[in-house]
Amino acid sequence: MKHNTIMNIGSINVDHVYRVPYFVKPGETLPSKSYQRVLGGKGANQSVALARAGENVKHIGVIGDDHTWIIEELQSSKVDTSSIEVGSVATGHALIQVDDNAENCILLFSGANHELDINSLSDKLTGFEKGGWVLFQNEMPNLNQMISLVKEMGARVAVNPAPFDDVAKAIDYDLVDLLIVNDLEAEELAKTKCQGDLSKLAELCPVVIVTRGTQGAICYSANEIIEVPAFKVDAVDTTGAGDTFVGYVLSSVVQELPLKEAMQRASAASALAVTKAGASVAIPTSAEVDQFINTMSAL
């Protein structure tokens, strides 16, 4: 069953992915084993994850006229692209090294992502219904102002404040309903807002979910602390695993699943994602996640 359209105000990048035996060192020239050009950006990845989880999702963002194929790519995953505009500078892009341990190293160029005009945001939110969800990441400009604007419209707000920096620290978390961070981001946020006590993150907003890689995920809310383990898989590429988790956990929250079940489902989706190379291309469908959970439960 599909619900109200989720609005995702997020980045769109072209990922240039290089497989390497190890991360290149200063002054070194290192031949890559392979190269891929794929759709990326935390925002685009999370829109694809939401769509493959079964949600209606509209993506709001900006690309350059150099990579209009991105529109077709998003549409092929059933993402509404009607509010994506073409800007005057090059599309954002990332240079990604993936080593033999499936770890990644990323160099990011914001490009057209930072051309999103907050003054035109209301028009781009056509179709938004009061009480619906709006998702943000920290790869777009005027983050606090955009969160305030949609909150005034009656939105429920989900935020994945990555990459984590001073802008992320300055977010008005009183306006956030669902916060998803990784363990390093959680520690930085706790230092800034909660005297270093992770359990006090629940004082920032109603639900805070912390992803911890192979250690699983933990949720802090006013009522309880929930922990779920990670699924054990043979990782090929961890790029996009966090974005997969965000999309699937928000989908489960929208469907009003219990938080523990939402986290388990998102963990299963991100586990599947790391078994394939690439970011958006590796995000599984809801049916694949169901099959994976059933298989793992039977073991």
| E strand residue ranges, the chain | 6-9, 13-19, 34-40, 57-63, 80-86, 92-98, 104-109, 133-137, 156-160, 178-182, 207-211, 217-221, 225-228
Is 243 one of the catalytic residues? Answer: yes
Residue 4, classified by CB atoms within 10 Å of its CB into exposed (0-12), middle (13-18) or buried (19+), is middle
Question: Rounded to whole angstroms, how far apart are CA atoms 188 and 186?
Answer: 5
Q: Which of 282, 292, 276 lies closest to 235 in space, CA to CA? A: 276
Q: Which of 100, 117, 243, 290 is catalytic?
A: 243
Q: What's the distance, CA 227 to chain centroid?
A: 20
Residue 2, classified by CB atoms within 10 Å of its CB into exposed (0-12), middle (13-18) or buried (19+), is exposed
Catalytic residues, by residue number, are 243
